């Protein structure tokens, strides 16, 4: 029996419960979860990560729900997808990728896999922080100069 490989990808800067929810939901869609951690130089849609590439990859790899974690390719986001050959790519609920456009780009490259989107995680308690930006804002507010 072939294992159903799932890919999740993201920046994963300052891990928080929202990241864990995303990865748990992605893992539930298959038998093996591969996570591609974006290289700092490839993060252009938001502020660059605070933590370096290897530290973010190592933190993601340490999560029990993750079977394999790797850094993304520096030039072509489809290289690791081709190597992993997943059945499904799961996008985070708030990731900027367009599901249909990604599906078209995969098909154009001969990559046959489903594209799904994870659900949002609602805060469990009133002051819970579920985004790296909000964590940074809190740090600056409470500990900044």
Q: In sequence order, what DSSP letters do the residues of 116-136 get, joined into one string?
A: EEPPPPPPSSTT---SHHHHH
Instruction: Say what the pLDDT of residue 96 is.
Output: 82
For 104-113, write each residue's pLDDT tens digit: 999 999 999 9
Are the C-beta atoms of residues 61 and 69 closer than 8 Å to each other? yes
85 is an annotated ligand-binding site residue? no
94 is an annotated ligand-binding site residue? yes
19 is an annotated ligand-binding site residue? yes
17 is an annotated ligand-binding site residue? yes
Q: Which CATH architecture has domain 5-143?
A: 3-Layer(aba) Sandwich (3.40)
12 is an annotated ligand-binding site residue? yes
For 70-80, write each residue's pLDDT tens digit: 999 999 999 99
Instruction: Say what the pLDDT of residue 44 is.
Output: 86
78 is an annotated ligand-binding site residue? no
2 is an annotated ligand-binding site residue? no
Question: Is residue 46 over pLDDT 90?
Answer: no
- Tokens 């909000």 belong to residue: 134
Instruction: Say what the pLDDT of residue 47 is.
Output: 87
Average pLDDT, the chain: 93
pLDDT cut 70: percent of the chain above it: 98
Are the C-beta atoms of residues 66 and 90 closer than 8 Å to each other? no
10 forms beta bridges with 37
Question: Is residue 126 over pLDDT 80?
Answer: yes
Question: Is residue 1 over pLDDT 70?
Answer: no
């Amino acid at each position: 029996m072939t294992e159903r490989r799932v890919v999740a990808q993201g920046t994963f800067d300052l891990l928080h419960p929202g990241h864990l929810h995303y990865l748990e939901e992605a893992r539930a869609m298959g038998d093996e979860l591969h996570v591609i951690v974006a290289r700092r130089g490839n993060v252009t849609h938001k502020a660059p990560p605070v933590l370096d590439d290897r530290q973010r990859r190592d933190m993601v790899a340490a999560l029990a729900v993750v079977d394999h974690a790797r850094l993304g390719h520096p030039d072509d986001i489809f290289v690791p997808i081709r190597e992993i050959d997943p059945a499904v790519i799961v996008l985070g609920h708030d990731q900027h990728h367009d599901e249909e456009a990604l599906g078209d780009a995969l098909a154009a490259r001969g990559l046959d896999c489903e594209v799904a989107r994870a659900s949002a995680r609602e805060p469990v308690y009133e002051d819970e922080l579920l985004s790296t930006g909000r964590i940074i804002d809190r740090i600056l507010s409470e500990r900044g100069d």
